[in-house]
Amino acid sequence: MFHINSKYKLLTGCIISALAGFVTTLGFAPADMWYLSLAGIFSFGFVYAGNTTPRRSALTTLIFFFVMHMCAVSWLTSVMTGYGEMSYALAIGVLILFSLYLSLFPTLAGYAAHRLCTGMPTVRNLVLFPSLIVLAEIINSVLFTGFGWDLLGYTQIDSFFSAYAPLIGVQGMSLIMLIVIMGVVYACRRRYIGHAVIPTVLIIFGLSMQNFEYTRVGNPVKAALIQGNVSTSVHWNQDSVWEELEIYIQEMRSNLDTEIMVWPESAIPDLENNMEKLKVLSMLDYEAKYNNIGLITGIQYYDVAKQQFFNSMLGIGVIDKKKERQYTFGEGNRYYKRHLVPIGEFVPFEWLLRQMGPIFNMPMSSFTRGSDVQENIMVQDLNVASAICYEMVYNNELRDQVNEKSNLIVTVSNDGWFNYTDAPMQHLYIARLRAKEFGKPVLRATNNGITAVIDHQGNIVKTIPANITATLRAEFRPTYGETPFSRFGSSFVYFYIGLTLLHTVIARLRYRNMISNRPSQQI
């Protein structure tokens, strides 16, 4: 594909890698051009396969991932300037450093694959490189609480690669995609069609299994998701608590012919403790139950005994259809957020960082994390797996909440922090992939958008425009059973990575033994 003069090979490779990194981001929402992402990754893979030294492999990998991350999460500058009161120049500097950090482990992966497979280009490109890149994504997703927002697999939500989501998750999608692309790259470089056999099989499998049903679908349920559209700048103002609450109560009373209603994250902008002192939640519980509505809302709770704040979701109203279960203050039928956002919801080393400026003193940034495994919230006799905001990014953590009894996933969020950026749409597409992975419909209620109902195949059933006060009314079908990913998580991905590392070690030992007798031979 590329005929590069050796004199300018490194420069050309760097330029192609940078362009490829930009093109790859076009597969993320809102562009959602997954085919361009494949073209971008293919172009980078072609450059990588042609590198002659580990340093060149590291450099081109660094450039590709740096540009990709810079473009994919550029919306962070809006958060930092809008709510952290940073200057634009400083925010750009932080974005550059953050993108370099996210590119570090992929760069080490590119270097290690070349270094460990010197003289073994087939093993390097077809076996080790895809595995190490996915391992780097996994590390980025867990280290220092993790940031798994822009994994390569998220570019393929609407492609045939999404067929692998309910089997091996988004990490597995990244792995299969890289195996396919590097196989095609190597087939083109070596002009040997045999290298394209496995990619062809994987593509055919993806195409044939794209709409396969792993869970059983139940009867339709009416849902109403309320989008309050409260400005983040006044959301935690104590003077506006009742005004905000009135928005949701009026929307609820205008939509009484529904079965399940969801209010967004922190829709009630005060502590559950304070609301129950005034019997507000008992009143809402009674009114929802009287109108046969199961209500889920975001609210904050303060555990007086432990002196801990929790970002929580609460289920009230019709919990069970016999209406025997009641709302109880501080216990039962609730979920406490477990994966907190650094700086936004907790501040590490706060004794030091809180002295350094407004960015480290955002409202409600002193939460305690909830338990890893918590019971499903129940409404209308349906078991609800819960996730608050950023938690939808972490599929293996959500897997702790989704079990064989779970019928749907409800996620509540306040994406007002993102302003008018690509982040809300990217967040919505991440929720789509969670629905596909677990075979569960997703009800996504947000403060200002994008509120949506997503079916168990990851298709958007209905949305409402962002930045308006409105109620989304739609039907969804709860599901029963589990997908392979729900049962086994990323076990296959971990096993495959371990297997490829073992294969590389064995191939390396064989190669050393071979060159001791035939120095010029390569495998």
Beta partners for residue 446, in sequence order: 413
Quote the percentage of the chain above a pLDDT of 90: 78
Averaged pLDDT for residues 369-389: 96
Q: Which residues contact 201 (CB under 8 A, 6 or more apart)?
A: none
- 333 near 363, Cβ under 8 Å? no
Judge if 199 and 55 occupy the same domain.
Answer: yes
| Residue 389 a catalytic site member | yes
Local structure of residue 341 (DSSP, 8 states): P
Q: Is residue 318 part of a domain?
A: yes
Q: Give residue 351's pLDDT.
A: 46
Q: Over 60: is that where the pLDDT of 337 sits?
A: yes
Strands 479-480 and 294-303: unpaired
- Shared domain check, 322 and 292: yes
Residue 471 has pLDDT above 60, yes or no: yes
Question: What is the DSSP annotation of 442-462?
Answer: EEEEESSS--EEE-TTS-EEE
Summary mean pLDDT of the chain: 91
- Give the active site residue among 137, 244, 251, 265: 265
pTM score, whole prediction: 0.92
Is-contact 127 508, C-beta < 8 A? no
pLDDT value at position 415?
Answer: 85
> Would you state the structure tokens that stand for residue 496, as one six-digit string?
């495959």
56 close to 10: Cβ distance less than 8 angstroms: yes
d(CA 272, CA 263): 15
pLDDT at residue 479, rounded to an integer: 98
Side chain identity at residue 493, one-letter code? V
CATH of the domain at 258: 3.60.110.10
283: in domain: yes
Which whole number is the average pLDDT over 398-407? Answer: 95
On whether residue 233 sits in a domain, the answer given is yes
* Residue predicted with more confidence, 356 or 472: 472
Q: Find out whether 103 and 60 touch, Cβ atoms under 8 Å.
A: no
For residue 149, is pLDDT > 70? yes
Work out the pLDDT band at 160, boundaries 50, 70, 90.
very high
Could you give the CA distance from residue 39 to residue 41 in angstroms, rounded to a whole number?
Answer: 6
The whole-number pLDDT of residue 196 equals: 93
- Looking at the structure of the chain, the number of domains it has is 2
User: Tell me, what's the pLDDT at 146?
Assistant: 92
Residue 367 forms part of a structural domain: no
Looking at the structure, tell me whether residues 208 and 227 fall in a common domain: no
The answer on 305 and 235 residing in a single domain is yes
24, 123: one domain: yes
- Give the number of C-alpha atoms closer than 13 A to the C-alpha of residue 480, restricted to the C-beta side: 6
Residue 144 has pLDDT above 60, yes or no: yes
User: To which residue do tokens 């499998």 refer?
Assistant: 205
Same domain, 482 and 497: no
Q: Return the structure tokens found at 402.
A: 């989704």
| Residue 315: inside a domain | yes
- Averaged pLDDT, 475-500: 97
Question: pLDDT tens across 94-108, in order?
Answer: 999 999 999 999 999
Cα–Cα separations (whole angstroms), residue 328 to 114, 314, 418 = 59, 10, 34
pLDDT of residue 269: 86
Answer whether residue 317 shows pLDDT above 90.
yes
* Predicted local confidence at residue 417, as pLDDT: 78
10-19, 173-182, 353-362, 403-412 — which is least confidently predicted?
A: 353-362
476 assigned to some structural domain: yes
Cα 123 off chain centre by: 31
**Long-range contacts for 83-92 (Cβ within 8 Å, ≥24 apart)?**
83/232, 83/362, 83/417, 84/357, 84/358, 84/359, 84/362, 85/357, 85/358, 85/359, 86/359
Which listed residue (272, 389, 391, 436) is catalytic? 389
Cβ–Cβ under 8 Å, residues 382 and 410: no
pLDDT number for residue 520: 52
Average pLDDT over residues 355-360: 52
Is the same domain home to 460 and 500? no
Average pLDDT over residues 380-384: 98
pLDDT at 404 (0 to 100): 92
CA 377, 457, 482, 34: dihedral to nearest 10 degrees? -110
Q: Residue 128 carries which DSSP code?
A: I
Share of the chain above pLDDT 70, in %: 92
With respect to residue 378, please indicate whether it lies within any of the assigned structural domains.
no
Q: What would the pLDDT profile of 260-300 be if each residue is shown by its tens digit?
A: 999 999 999 889 999 989 999 999 999 999 999 999 999 99
pLDDT at 364: 55
- Report helix, strand or coil for 164: helix
Q: Are residues 307 and 415 in the same domain?
A: yes
DSSP-based three-state secondary structure for 270: coil
Containing structural domain, residue 275: 216-337+383-486
What is d(CA 214, CA 510) in angstroms, rounded to the nearest whole number?
43
Query: Which pair of structure tokens corresponds to residue 84?
Result: 């952290």
Examine the domain organization and report whether 254 and 132 are in the same domain.
Answer: no
* 388 and 313 within one domain: yes
Q: What is the mean pLDDT of residues 164-175?
A: 98
Please tell me whether residues 133 and 16 are part of one structural domain: yes
Whether 172 and 231 share a structural domain? no
Q: Which residues pair with 412 in a beta bridge?
A: 388, 445
Instruction: Name all contacts of 165-168 with Cβ < 8 Å and 24+ positions apart.
Output: 165/433, 165/436, 165/437, 165/458, 165/485, 166/212, 166/214, 166/436, 166/437, 166/438, 166/439, 166/483, 166/484, 166/485, 166/486, 167/483, 167/484, 167/485, 167/492, 168/484, 168/485, 168/490, 168/492, 168/493
Phi-psi category of 419—alpha, beta or left, where left has phi over 0 and alpha has psi -120 to 50? left
Q: How confident is the model at residue 1 (pLDDT cuts 50, 70, 90)?
A: very low
Active site residue 345: no
Q: Whole-angstrom Cα distance, residue 91 to residue 74?
A: 10
Q: Which of 289, 337, 436, 440 is catalytic?
A: 337
pLDDT at 9: 86
Report the distance separating Cα 220 and Cα 456, nearest Å: 13
Tell me whether residue 468 is in a domain.
yes
> With 50 as the cut, is the pLDDT of residue 354 above it?
no
